[in-house]
Amino acid sequence: MLVKKINNGIISQEFTIKKTLEALQKSTLSKNKICIIKDITGKVVDVLTDGDIRRILLKTNDLNQKILLFLKKKFYYSYKRNSEKYYEKITSKKQIDVLPILNKKKKLIEIYCSSEEKKLDNEIFIFAGGRGKRMFPLTESIPKPMMNIGKLPLIESTINFFKNYGFYNFTISVNYLSKKIENYFSEKKSNIKIKFLHEKKKLGTAGPLSIFKNNNKKPIICINGDIYTNLNFRSLLDFHEKSGNDCTICTRNYNFQIPYGVITKLKNKVIDEKPQITKKVTAGIYVFNQKSLNYLERNKTIDMNDFINFLYKKKKKIGYFHIYELLFDIGDLSTYEKVNSYLSNQ
């Protein structure tokens, strides 16, 4: 459909990366979060996608840099045509959601947004077999993925986020108090498919994938059962496929402060007092090509870090997708209380 009144999603090339991130989050042009960028004359110079900003975040941690330093040389657009079918043909062929319609001076007239709502049959694999010992006594009688986050069990919230982006095939690996998860979903009517994979022994954080039987050859998204996030999963999948990765690791920033003065070789000082350190860490979300899973030995215990390191040694392409959206890794009681407090204030 054509959009003539554009209230958001249009930004200046003078925006900082931080300001661009904020604009992307507010953009309603597409589910995949897109911004159209203009120069100081009003000429459209780029279309920035969610995947583009992830690549930028892997290149720099300085969010105060201007976005114009990272703009692409080419982007898709069209001049004014009478037929919307022409625009739909372009968006379908180029696999894009938004097409700027420009005049001869490359100034924005309107925007064509693809009306096609895609269903995605990629498998979503949720690891939900752990005991959640750090959450005792709450997890003595209920598996951690079934603990309420807001008004819903954590695992149901995760599934709903995926559903919002068109995914409908789910496999849940279960072990500890598995019947409580199975019984809950067996009583709910739904238009999605949920299969359960039973771990007869502890297989580690990647081992359950070794007993996963899947005829679907498309990439599989894996997520730990204790993650709460509003991540755009379609953007994640699109990034993985366009990057040609065998495995994509979702990353997030982890900040910590050293409680001492650190000796440094900076020109203006020799002691940096209690510096704040930022490191990129794994976020508990991964995408694998099906062929990558063939390297797993059936029913053998293996953790995710060991599996991915093995793929790296085998010269498989490992990529990184940085998460700037909301994400809680609910590994302990304090985080559980924090996420519920956050949701109650929304």
* Spatial distance between the Cα atoms of 51 and 130, rounded to a whole number of angstroms: 32
Q: Which amino acid is at 297?
A: E
Residue with tokens 């459209």: 44
Return the structure tokens found at 211: 């007993």
Q: What pLDDT is recorded for position 321?
A: 93
> 244: which 2 tokens?
């040609």
Which pLDDT belongs to residue 267? 75
pLDDT in the model for residue 315: 96
Question: CB–CB of 240/248 below 8 Å?
Answer: yes
pLDDT 10s per residue in the chain (346 long)? 555 556 678 889 999 998 988 888 777 766 667 888 999 998 999 988 878 888 888 788 788 999 989 888 788 888 887 677 888 888 878 777 788 888 899 998 888 887 666 789 999 999 998 877 777 777 788 888 998 888 899 999 999 999 988 899 999 999 888 899 999 998 877 789 999 999 888 899 999 999 998 888 899 999 999 999 989 898 899 899 989 999 999 999 888 999 999 888 777 888 888 988 888 899 999 999 999 999 999 999 999 999 999 999 999 999 999 998 889 998 888 888 888 888 877 6
Two structure tokens written together for 342: 């956050």
pLDDT at position 341 is 86
What is the pLDDT, as a whole number, of residue 30? 65
pLDDT at 116: 60
Tokens for 120, please give them: 């995605």
Instruction: Identify the CATH number of the domain defined by range 120-344.
Output: 3.90.550.10
Residue type, 286: Y
Count the Cβ atoms, other than its own, within 10 Å of residue 188: 9
Respond yes or no on whether the N-terminal peptide bond of residue 137 is cis (omega within 30° of 0).
Answer: yes
Q: What is the pLDDT of residue 171?
A: 95
CA pseudo-torsion sign 71, 72, 76, 77: positive
Return the domain boundaries, the chain: 2-113, 120-344
> Which contiguous run of DSSP H or E holds residue 1?
none
State residue 138 phi and psi, 5-degree precision: -60, -30
Q: At what angle do helices 17-26 and 50-59 cross, to 10 degrees?
A: 160
End-to-end CA distance of the chain: 32
DSSP-assigned letters across all residues of 272-332: EES-EEEEEEEEEEEEE-GGGGGGSPTT----HHHHHHHHHHTT--EEEEE--S-EEE--S
What is the rounded CA–CA span in Å between residue 148 and residue 135? 13
The predicted structure's pLDDT at residue 7 = 64
pLDDT at site 188: 79
Any idea of the CA torsion for 208, 218, 325, 16, to the nearest 10 degrees? Answer: 140
Q: Return d(Cα 190, Cα 264) in angstroms, integer.
A: 58
- Runs of H (alpha helix) within the chain: 17-26, 50-59, 84-94, 154-164, 178-186, 233-243, 304-313, 333-344
pLDDT at 110: 84
Residue 57: its H or E element = helix 50-59
Q: Which secondary structure element, helix H or strand E, spans residue 149, and what is its range?
A: strand 148-149
pLDDT in the model for residue 245: 96
Topology of the domain covering 2-113 = CBS-domain (3.10.580)
